[in-house]
Amino acid sequence: MIPLQAVAIGLVAAAGLAVVLTRDLVRLALLSSAFGLTLVVFFLVLQAPDVALSELVVGTIGIPFVVAVAIALDRSK
């Protein structure tokens, strides 16, 4: 494993831990998006650009949108 890959894996682990430990919903939405971005970097470092693109669109468009609407729904009730 080259150092760049080790750094990328470390970032994924740190971001994943941060997501698990966060309780505030808005922070959670932002952090899970950032977690998705660390996965994108990880896949790119491993030379898997197609998977990186899929993770990018799901992690930065799909999930944040659904979470944002869920938070808004929760506040409207």
Beta carbon nearer to other proteins, 9 or 34:
9
Q: How far apart are CA 27 and CA 33, in angstroms?
A: 10
Q: How far apart are CA 64 and CA 67, in angstroms?
A: 5
Find tokens 């939405």 and name the residue. Answer: 29
Beta carbon nearer to other proteins, 20 or 61:
61
Stretch of 18-26, 27-35, 67-75 lying at the interface with other proteins (CB under 8 A): 67-75
53 binds other proteins (CB under 8 A): yes
21 binds other proteins (CB under 8 A): no
